[in-house]
Amino acid sequence: GVLLAERDFEGAEEYLASQLGRSPDSDAVVHWQLGRLYHFWNKASSAVNHLNRAVELATSAKNELLTIQVLSDLNAARATQAKQKP
C-alpha cells in the first residue's frame, strides 16, 4: 500500500515478486496484487496475466470470495487492454 501511495511501482513490483512461492496459500493474493499494481501502472497485459493466474489459484483453492474480487479486477484490466490495442 505505502509503495503504491508513493507511486514507487518498481519497489512494489520487487516486493510482491519476492513474495511469490513463499506460501502456496498466499500466491493467489500475491498474483492478484501484482495484477492490480500492473493495471494501476498502465501495464494491462501483465495485469491480465497475473489476474488470470490469481483466478486459477483462487478457484482451485475454492476461495469464492477472492475469485469474485479478482474477476472484477480482471474485467477492468481487460477493458483497459482492449482500449490500448490499435
What is the distance between the alpha carbons of residues 55 and 84, in angstroms, rounded to a whole number?
Answer: 23
CA dist., res. 74 & res. 80, Å (int): 10
Q: What pLDDT, on the 0 to 100 scale, is given for residue 1?
A: 62
pLDDT at 7: 79
pLDDT of residue 55: 97
All three cell numbers of 12? 512494489
- pTM for the predicted model, two decimal places: 0.90
Block means of pLDDT (10 residues each) for the chain, length 86 residues? 72 94 91 96 96 97 96 97 84
Cell representation of residue 32: 492478484
pLDDT of 2 reads 57
- Contact call for residues 46 and 38 (beta carbons, < 8 A): yes
